[in-house]
Structure 1
Amino acid sequence: MVDRHMSLKELADEVGISNVNLSKIKNNRVAAIRFTTLAGICEALECQPGDILKYESKQPA
């Protein structure tokens, strides 16, 4: 978002989701995300899912 000079509200409006839901996604407070939402975010930010997602194992190290 910073690289694209886009606010949370602008991105939420472009993707078609609420500001609150996008904030929850951004702050890792969701257990799941719809592929259509992920695709919309990637399209708006001109990126790939791997650019914004990171897998974290819940298994103890």
Structure 2
Amino acid sequence: MAIIINIDVMLAKRKMSVTELSERVGITMANMSILKNGKAKAIRVTTLDAICKALDCQPGDILEYQEDEAE
């Protein structure tokens, strides 16, 4: 997929655990892990908003576009 999710980078910068982020955002650890590992097919804008608030960042700090080499 061409969209890279950098939640792990922001977690490291903020010295926050995945568990703490999932609690602050209000989603399960399983769903947070799916997002963090880039396995998600979609993300709600409200979830992205909550992640940005919890990590004190912009959506562009979390989402990155990288062109697929196969295309």
* TM-score, reference length from structure 2: 0.78
Q: Any gaps of 5 or more consecutive residues in structure 1? A: none
User: When the two structures are aligned, how many residues end up with a matched partner?
Assistant: 60
Q: Deviations over 1:15-50 (max 9, x none)?
A: 000011011001110110000000000000000000
Question: Which structure exhibits the higher relative contact order, with contacts defined as CA atoms closer than 8 Å and separated by 6 or more residues?
Answer: 2
Root mean square deviation, CA, Å = 1.2
Greater per-residue helix proportion: 2
Q: Any gaps of 5 or more consecutive residues in structure 2? A: 1-10
CA distance in 2, matches of 1:31, 1:56: 16
Q: Residue 6 of structure 1 is aligned with which of 2, 11, 16?
A: 16
SS at match of 1:2: helix
How do residues 26-37 of structure 1 correspond to structure 2 at under 5 angstroms?
Answer: 26-37=36-47
SS at match of 1:3: helix
* TM-score, reference length from structure 1: 0.90
Greater per-residue strand proportion: 2
